[in-house]
């Protein structure tokens, strides 16, 4: 891997330009209006894998968006790394909060990215991070440095629940056989504080509908005499947390893994500034479950959050009306041992039971998935750790993340292999938000670090 630095220097501009081209395609999986674009992105990924040196690349059709599969098998007796990533992106809304169009990438400097960052939807989550692997493969194949076999599996439905990928993996266990799964779809603590993600939270996502009277009513003529679904929904949602911000759903915490004091003390060693955290978000205080620190609240503890709420009149001016219906979308982030389907059931039963007379409640489950934790004594973790030491000059810190990649626990179940999460994004990169960006330094550092993982993994596996 000795000339990786010079290879990156030489090809830096092209690496950036290629990513920018990919970011121009609005591959929004949630919105069917973008179907053609999502499909075109799959084609673009296929081509990039071919150019990077895969001997066999295939677009695998599913009932939804296709999975791009690529491989380079150099010797069946050598280990195999399976790279996973996603080419779909979140909707860019709200558009008016973007400083530049989300699918017209631009490079701009920021305080944390003095070398410049690419601003576009998907820049960090996950096109930019996925593409680091394509470029790392290019380096290894063009320089005869690929030490083992590699398989790529890049899907187009991660942001909508990966349902068809689950089916694909279960049907292709043999083809997908590997020794370790490698993913860059998470973050790191800071540019000078490398970290490896060792945990992801599970997820249960539901939609609720509260129906009162059979039609919208005059809020003067009927107000006070019938249940207002919006008032009721607000009250029901408020009751889901108690005064200590514990979730009140019976049984919700039954299976939650409790970390030992020693484990919590270890976690608390990771560098973190509460002042900087508050400043970055423009808040005067943090908020959350009593008895836990901010880093615990957003990683090892389960949560319940309203993601959207609507009903009644929201247009310009005022309209005096009691709406017939009110709605909310609610996500619950789960920790190891909580089963997402069980939690969804607990939520449904509880939410229906707290509805007052005079309204009807409907709970519709969306998607979900289990959480994941990976041990730090595996060969995969050790190889990743050595790779970071090589390129950052520091041992990375293991850190559990609050985000979810539900398919990871399914990989373990179906393919029986561990996943290593080498993320290069920063929390401030605004994934899922307006002005998402990915630092050029981070992008290139990822390309530089990944080949070392291959080298150390192959060596340690022998």
Opening angle at CA 277, ends 161 and 337, nearest 5: 40
Is the distance from CB of 186 to CB of 198 less than 8 angstroms?
no
Cβ within 8 Å of residue 315, ≥6 positions away: none
Examine residue 428 and say whether the peptide bond preceding it is cis (omega within 30 degrees of 0).
no
Choices 5-13, 184-192, 214-222, 239-247; region in contact with Mn ion by CB under 5 A: 184-192
Considering the rule CB under 5 A, would residue 157 count as an interface residue with Mn ion?
A: no
Considering the rule CB under 6 A, would residue 18 count as an interface residue with ligand BES?
A: no
Binding-site partner at residue 436 among Mn ion, ligand BES, none, CB < 5 to 8 Å by type: none
Considering the rule CB under 5 A, would residue 125 count as an interface residue with Mn ion?
A: yes
Considering the rule CB under 6 A, would residue 138 count as an interface residue with ligand BES?
A: no
CA distance 416 to 296: 29
3-state secondary structure at position 163: helix
The region, left, alpha or beta by phi > 0 then psi within -120 to 50, assigned to residue 251 is: left
Instruction: Select the residue interacting with ligand BES from 27, 298, 404, 409 (CB under 6 A).
Output: 404
Is the distance from CB of 448 to CB of 138 less than 8 angstroms?
no
**Residue among 123, 87, 86 nearest 102 (CA):** 123
Choices 98-106, 134-142, 180-188, 251-259; region in contact with ligand BES by CB under 6 A: 180-188
**Under rule CB under 6 A, how many of the chain's residues touch ligand BES?**
17
Going by the DSSP 8-state scheme, the letter that residue 173 receives in this structure is T
Considering the rule CB under 5 A, would residue 126 count as an interface residue with Mn ion?
A: yes
Considering the rule CB under 6 A, would residue 159 count as an interface residue with ligand BES?
A: yes
Name which of 71 and 185 has its Cβ closer to Mn ion: 185
Considering the rule CB under 6 A, would residue 371 count as an interface residue with ligand BES?
A: no
Pairing mode, strands 67-72 and 372-373: unpaired
Name which of 141 and 162 has its Cβ closer to ligand BES: 162
List C-alpha distances in Å: 397 to 266, 364, 374, 382: 10, 39, 13, 12
Is the distance from CB of 445 to CB of 424 less than 8 angstroms?
yes
Instruction: Select the residue interacting with ligand BES from 18, 37, 71, 125 (CB under 6 A).
Output: 125
The region, left, alpha or beta by phi > 0 then psi within -120 to 50, assigned to residue 435 is: left
Is the distance from CB of 133 to CB of 450 less than 8 angstroms?
yes
CA distance 449 to 327: 46
Considering the rule CB under 6 A, would residue 406 count as an interface residue with ligand BES?
A: yes
Rounded to a whole number, what is the largest CA-CA distance in the chain?
Answer: 79
Instruction: Select the residue interacting with ligand BES from 27, 186, 198, 298 (CB under 6 A).
Output: 186
| Footprint on residues 295-354 left by ligand BES (CB under 6 A) | none
Name which of 126 and 436 has its Cβ closer to ligand BES: 126
Name which of 121 and 151 has its Cβ closer to ligand BES: 121
**Under rule CB under 5 A, how many of the chain's residues touch Mn ion?**
3
Considering the rule CB under 6 A, would residue 448 count as an interface residue with ligand BES?
A: no
**Residue among 284, 293, 19 nearest 131 (CA):** 19
CA distance 380 to 132: 18
Considering the rule CB under 5 A, would residue 429 count as an interface residue with Mn ion?
A: no
Considering the rule CB under 5 A, would residue 185 count as an interface residue with Mn ion?
A: yes
Name which of 222 and 272 has its Cβ closer to ligand BES: 272
Considering the rule CB under 6 A, would residue 126 count as an interface residue with ligand BES?
A: yes
> What's the min distance (Å) between Cβ of 123 and ligand BES?
12
Considering the rule CB under 6 A, would residue 88 count as an interface residue with ligand BES?
A: no
> What's the min distance (Å) between Cβ of 186 and Mn ion?
8
Residues near Mn ion (CB under 5 A): 125-126, 185
Residues near ligand BES (CB under 6 A): 125-126, 158-159, 161, 185-187, 200, 203, 367, 401, 403-406, 431
């Amino acid at each position: 891997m000795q000339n990786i630095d010079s290879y990156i220097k030489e090809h830096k501009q092209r690496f950036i330009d290629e990513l920018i081209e990919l970011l121009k395609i609005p591959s929004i999986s949630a919105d069917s209006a973008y179907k053609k674009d999502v499909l075109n992105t799959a084609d673009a990924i296929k081509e990039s894998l071919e150019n990077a040196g895969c001997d066999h690349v295939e677009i695998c059709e599913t009932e939804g968006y296709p999975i791009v599969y690529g491989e380079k098998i150099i010797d069946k007796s050598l280990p195999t790394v399976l790279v996973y990533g996603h080419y779909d992106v979140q909707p860019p809304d709200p558009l008016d909060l973007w400083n530049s169009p989300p699918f017209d990438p631009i490079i701009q400097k920021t305080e944390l990215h003095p070398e410049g960052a690419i601003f576009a939807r998907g820049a960090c989550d996950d096109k930019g991070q996925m593409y680091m692997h394509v470029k790392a493969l290019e380096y290894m194949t063009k320089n005869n440095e690929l030490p083992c076999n590699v398989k790529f599996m890049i899907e187009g439905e991660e942001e909508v629940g990966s349902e068809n990928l689950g089916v694909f993996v279960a049907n292709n266990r043999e083809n997908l056989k590997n020794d370790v799964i490698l993913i860059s779809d998470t973050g790191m603590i800071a540019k000078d504080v490398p970290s490896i993600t060792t945990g992801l939270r599970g997820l249960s996502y539901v939609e609720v509908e509260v129906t009162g009277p059979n039609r919208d009513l005059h809020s003067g003529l009927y107000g006070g005499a019938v249940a207002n679904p919006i008032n009721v929904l607000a009250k029901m949602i408020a009751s889901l947390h108690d005064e200590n911000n514990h979730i009140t759903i019976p049984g919700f915490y039954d299976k939650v893994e409790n970390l030992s004091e020693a484990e919590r003390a270890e976690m608390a060693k990771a560098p973190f500034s509460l002042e900087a955290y508050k400043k970055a978000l423009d808040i005067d205080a943090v908020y959350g479950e009593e008895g836990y620190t901010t880093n615990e609240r957003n990683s090892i503890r389960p949560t319940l959050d309203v993601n959207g709420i609507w009903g009644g009149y929201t247009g310009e001016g005022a309209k005096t009306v009691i709406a017939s219906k009110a709605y909310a979308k609610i996500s619950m982030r789960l920790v190891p041992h909580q089963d997402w389907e069980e939690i969804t059931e607990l939520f449904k039963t509880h939410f229906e039971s707290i509805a007052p007379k005079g309204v009807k409640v409907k709970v519709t489950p969306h998607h979900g998935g289990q959480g994941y934790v990976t041990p730090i004594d595996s060969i995969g973790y050790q190889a990743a750790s050595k790779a970071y030491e090589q390129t950052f000059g520091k041992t990375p810190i293991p850190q559990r993340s609050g985000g979810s990649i539900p398919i990871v626990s399914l990989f373990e179940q179906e393919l029986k292999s561990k996943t290593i999460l080498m993320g290069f994004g920063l929390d401030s990169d605004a994934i899922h938000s307006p002005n998402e960006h990915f630092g050029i330094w981070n992008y290139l550092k990822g390309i530089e670090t990944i080949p070392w993982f291959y080298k150390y993994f192959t060596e340690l596996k022998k």
